[in-house]
Structure 1
């Protein structure tokens, strides 16, 4: 195991398409692991990054354009799953990650990760999904309602605060909730979130099922908070049965962000999988 000082977590920046992109990383070398978020931001991976680095991996938890701490702004065109996947390949080139690379995705970031594997099996060595969108599990009803209402700044923050509180489940504290919602105090980031939500379409994941069935040489791992009311564990069970070389690990008493509810177990599971 690496010393804590060597695995020290840090936020870094790189230029992608002429815009400043922010990402969390740890460690100095070792095999890269690209970690993708969805309707939250790189904060969802924070509890496990140090563990990955201490195990000799080098994690890159990137904020998509216009989200989290990254500059720019998403539009309905640039927020689709295929467009985000293309953007991720440009990010990896910018930080000099050469494939094949291990990729993990949470929420819509899981759809982007699936797209990367389905469209270039040689580029992804291992795929991990954490309470990811699968099949026709998305968009979630509460997200659709927000798009219909076109919320103001205060209404938006109140709605996201409620969602974060529910998704964190037993890990919800005032400090953690404030940490998760902080980027949305910026109007540009709220608009980017609405663009990602507006571009959400289950056809992107449904279209990936046939090519994913052919990825017989790529190991896959699903880590699932069992109490997620939208990305239900039944979707993960179906994926495990249909997609070759897939293993499902359940996290009891966790909802949509199991990295916060059981960070040690999730980290160990990811380390065992990526370092195999």
Structure 2
């Protein structure tokens, strides 16, 4: 059984003038993990030992404004800015090229980075990403459209709202409770975390960052794998098939009994498919 809460981030680095919490584990071919929202690097905890055991040097980090990274007062934390930050991280880690696995907005921002820096990607695996006009999903849209009010709402109401949202992210609802739920909530509650969450994450839930995918994806020239939780309540699986149709030679694998946070529902299946895809290249 995997260690439920291993130490994932073991250093702080400065990239583009901002403090980023990061970690590097194992040895071998470099593999960069890019998380989504509302999440942070905790979502990789069950994949990390499987990936290092498979012979990868795993690089992971919390996005700017997320988790243990800096919560900037005025910097852009949209996925457009986060895409440039990813390239800055590759430079910091001295990785001319790397395999990349991006989930949710982490997958969308990785695609944006690949549009202009495809030569830095050995391969790209994307999972349950926001794309085209798929986001924000209905429950998040109402929150996004009123994010300033949510930023100052009663802290108990805020926590209850986010607990409801996080339970939607998994197929097995019993996973998202107790200590795991507390750790997902920890960076987004409190006098700093709550307003920062709405201002630096939810305010940027907007399809303007992905509405050009239909035009740009057919021009992408790198190995791409798409993983999707069959029971995703936020990003319907129909978008996975649309992405497969638009990305040349993309491989799609739909994972049963898995929701949006498929790394929580099916970590072994996700790790196996990621490793097999990279080894097949």
Tell me the TM-score normalised to structure 1 length: 0.89
Whether the aligned pair in 2 keeps the contact of 1:106 and 1:132 (CA below 8 Å) is yes
Unaligned runs of 5+ in 1: none
Whether the aligned pair in 2 keeps the contact of 1:139 and 1:197 (CA below 8 Å) is no
Residue aligned with 2:63, SS: coil
Paired residues, what number? 266
Residue aligned with 1:121, SS: helix
Residues 147-186 of structure 1 mapped to structure 2, 5 A cutoff: 147=144, 148=146, 150-151=149-150, 152=153, 153-170=155-172, 171-186=175-190
Whether the aligned pair in 1 keeps the contact of 2:171 and 2:231 (CA below 8 Å) is no
Residue aligned with 1:221, SS: strand
- Equivalent-residue separation in structure 2 for 1:26 and 1:136 (angstroms): 36
Partner of 2:81: 83
Match among 92, 95, 106 for residue 94 of structure 1: 92
- CA deviation after TM superposition for structure 1 residue 73, in Å: 2.5
Partner of 1:197: 202
Partner of 2:123: 126
Residue aligned with 2:9, SS: strand
- Equivalent-residue separation in structure 1 for 2:264 and 2:162 (angstroms): 17
CA 1:19–1:82 in structure 2 vs 1: closer, same or farther (change >3 Å)?
A: closer
- Equivalent-residue separation in structure 2 for 1:34 and 1:136 (angstroms): 26
Q: Does 1:38 align with 2:36?
A: yes
- CA deviation after TM superposition for structure 1 residue 159, in Å: 1.2
- CA deviation after TM superposition for structure 1 residue 53, in Å: 0.8
- CA deviation after TM superposition for structure 1 residue 263, in Å: 0.7
- CA deviation after TM superposition for structure 1 residue 45, in Å: 1.6
Partner of 2:103: 106
Unaligned runs of 5+ in 2: none
- Equivalent-residue separation in structure 2 for 1:213 and 1:82 (angstroms): 19
- Equivalent-residue separation in structure 2 for 1:210 and 1:136 (angstroms): 13
Residue aligned with 1:206, SS: coil
Which digits, 9 at most, give the CA deviation of each residue in 1:180-226, with x for residues without a partner? Answer: 1111134433333222221222122121332321124x111111111
Partner of 1:66: 65
Partner of 1:145: 142
CA 1:209–1:102 in structure 2 vs 1: closer, same or farther (change >3 Å)?
A: farther
Tell me the TM-score normalised to structure 2 length: 0.87
- CA deviation after TM superposition for structure 1 residue 244, in Å: 0.7
Whether the aligned pair in 2 keeps the contact of 1:110 and 1:130 (CA below 8 Å) is yes
Match among 224, 227, 243 for residue 223 of structure 1: 227
Residue aligned with 1:168, SS: coil
Whether the aligned pair in 1 keeps the contact of 2:169 and 2:234 (CA below 8 Å) is no
- Equivalent-residue separation in structure 2 for 1:235 and 1:74 (angstroms): 34
- Equivalent-residue separation in structure 2 for 1:154 and 1:108 (angstroms): 27
- Equivalent-residue separation in structure 2 for 1:231 and 1:51 (angstroms): 26
Whether the aligned pair in 2 keeps the contact of 1:9 and 1:50 (CA below 8 Å) is no
Give the 4+ runs in structure 1 shifted more than 4 A. Answer: none
- CA deviation after TM superposition for structure 1 residue 232, in Å: 0.6
CA 1:236–1:74 in structure 2 vs 1: closer, same or farther (change >3 Å)?
A: farther
Q: Does 1:261 align with 2:254?
A: no
- CA deviation after TM superposition for structure 1 residue 95, in Å: 2.6
